[in-house]
């Protein structure tokens, strides 16, 4: 049996941009992607702490060291610039593997930079 397990989390980052006229996705500073073990195009769940919205999209790498967190396309309607969000990715694995798996957890500072 396979179960869904937390793989990666970028905890409490601030939305820096929202671009409605774009073809979907979330742009994330490459430093944060690397730290969270996320790859371009990976499916993520976005949780908005300000309004309770939860939605799925995929990652696009942003400029390294920029602190960019930009929701693109329809997802831009689910956030406001300045909202605090959590970005989560899950992996499927068997229960034995999951028992020893350690997710990548990232807790950036108030400017979306690694501490």
Q: Is 58 annotated as catalytic?
A: yes
Catalytic residue among 8, 22, 58, 90: 58
The CA distance from 18 to 12, in Å, is 17
Catalytic residue among 8, 22, 25, 90: 25
Q: Is 25 annotated as catalytic?
A: yes
Residues marked active site are found at 25, 58
């Amino acid at each position: 049996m396979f179960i869904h397990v937390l793989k990666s989390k970028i905890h409490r980052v601030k939305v820096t941009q929202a671009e409605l006229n774009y073809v979907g996705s979330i742009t994330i500073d490459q430093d944060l992607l690397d730290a969270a073990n996320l790859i371009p195009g990976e499916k993520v769940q976005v949780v908005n702490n300000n309004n309770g919205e939860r939605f799925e999209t995929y990652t696009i790498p942003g400029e390294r060291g920029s602190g960019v967190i930009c929701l693109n396309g329809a997802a831009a309607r689910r956030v406001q610039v300045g909202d605090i969000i959590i970005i989560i990715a899950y992996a499927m694995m068997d229960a034995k593997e999951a028992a020893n798996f350690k997710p990548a957890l990232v807790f950036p500072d108030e400017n979306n930079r690694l501490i």
